[in-house]
Each structure stands twice: as structure tokens, then as C-alpha cells.
Amino acid sequence: MIEATLLGKRTEYPKEYSPSILVAVPRHLNREIYGIDSSNLPFVGSDTWHAYEISWLTDKGMPVVGLLKIVYDASSPFIVESKSLKLYLNSLNMFQTSPSDDYGMSEIERIITNDLANILKAEVSLHIFLANHTSSALRLTHQEYSLLEEMPECRDTLFTQYTETPTLLKVSNIGGTRNYITHLLRSNCKITHQPDWGSMFIHITSSNLPVPQSLLQYIVSLRGENHFHEEICELVYIRLKEYFNPSELAVTCIYTRRGGIDICPCRASSQQLLSSALTDARTLTEKLLRQ
């Protein structure tokens, strides 16, 4: 299994710049299981990565540290394996940049962009925020979201299913638009089965909206699932599309950082529903509690 190339294995950190350590994982392997046609995707979206352990050396040998934000489209044929990205970024720790007036940041951004685009076979946008970055971070969303676990109808709900159970989803007789958020998202790494924690944002417009407590029950049922972050986001999107036939739908997962990296996939029925703050590599968003 290509996904298990590095994940879950004892691996030495490279001591010098090593682009060859990057591993590409085909998206179609998981999409085929849920009937998602990669040549005709039922959504638009992107994958946003925040890497908190980016560092290199200037031409004078002084370390530079920052935060790297990476964004690439959900239509890319591959994703990058997370541990390989961590090892790759750490391989730059002793990389000495050419003389410049920006601490070598432009050179590092160019190198990483080219290396990722090469393995992903897709356009990659990224930006490094240095430790002295002073501009204020934007909120992830400006819309009001109802916190599912605090809604009165959800507080007395019984939860018994912890593997993905789409039949938990119940259709109401209510139409309109709703914005929901939950901080109870938990799934597990596809390879190591280590828990991945996060928050999920759902925007949905439908003539038959989901019953809120059933939606929360379904999200909680992901607790025992073993999937990559991107796969969880697409799975939830497909289930909601199947059950509620929405005219508008957006699902965004903000996962907790692990190994110095967090992964935040978003899928939507139209480009306008994607958070511009999240999908713009040059915009730093405020961190959620889970991050």
C-alpha cells in the first residue's frame, strides 16, 4: 500500500535537502470506494496545510523559522503523504540559502513549490509567514454557525454508533439554509490508526434539511473510521449530497496539528462557498481551539 510508505515506520530524519523523500498518494484509490469519479468530481475544493516546523539557514548560517501555508486543488490526482512532507520540510533545516534581503524566504518558497508541484502533478500555492509577521489573522468564517453539541435537541441525544453509519441521517420537513459546526469530529489515521481530532463546518441549503441531532450522530459515528483527513471530508460531503439533495453544500474539516502539521480540506458545490481566508495561501487565519 503506497499510503504506508513512511507512516507508522521508524524513519531517520534526512540531514540534507531531500526532495526524493516526498511520497504522492493517488486520490482515486479511496474515491472509487464511494463512487466518486475523479474525472467528473461532484464538488470543488482544496486542501490547505499549515506546517509549523519550517526552518532553514541564511547565507550567514543564521536559522530562520516560520509557518508554511500550502494550498492545492481537490482535483489534483495526488495528495502528499503527511509524514513524507514532515521529513522533507525538516530536510531543509540545514539548507543554506543564497544572499538575499528576505532571509532567503523567496528561495525556500520557490524550492518547495516546485518540489510539491512535481509530485502532485498540480499547481501549488504557498507562503511562509515569518516569526515577525505582524498583520492580524482573519477569522476562518464570517458567517454564524450553530454549534451542534450545544443545541437543546442534541443534548439528550443517545449516541451508540462509532463506525460510519449513514442511515443515522434523518430528513426533516424543513427547508432553508443552515450553518452548523461541531468540535466533536474524530477519525483515525488510515495507516497508524492514531486518533485525529478536529472541527467540522457544514453549510447546507435544501428543501429537506437534516435533523440536527441525526447530523451530529452521523459525525460522531466517524469516530472509529480509519481515513485520511481529505477522505473524511469527501465522505461526509457525498453522504449529505445523497441524503438531502442540497442546492448548496460545503463541508470544511479543520484538523488538529500532528507532527507539526495540520490538514484542512474543504469541499463545496460551488467556488463561492469556499472560505477565501482558508484557500488563499497568503492569508493567515486565526487558529481554532483544536489546532
In whole angstroms, give the CA distance from residue 182 to residue 42. 24
- Nearest-5° angle of CA 146, CA 228, CA 186? 40
Give the C-alpha distances (Å, rounded to integers) separating 33 from 93, 181, 213, 234.
39, 27, 27, 11
Grid coordinates belonging to 11: 524513519
> 104 — phi, psi (to 5°)?
80, 10
Q: Is 264 a catalytic residue?
A: no
Contacts of 39 (CB under 8 A, 6+ apart): none
| Set 154, 189, 264, 266: catalytic member | 189
Per DSSP, the chain holds a count of helices (H) and strands (E) of: 7, 10
| Set 47, 115, 154, 196: catalytic member | 196
Q: Is 115 a catalytic residue?
A: no
Strand partners, 253: 200
Give the C-alpha distances (Å, rounded to integers) separating 22 from 28, 77, 81, 143, 190.
19, 15, 7, 37, 18
Contact status, residue 97 vs residue 56, Cβ threshold 8 Å: yes
Active site residues: 189, 196
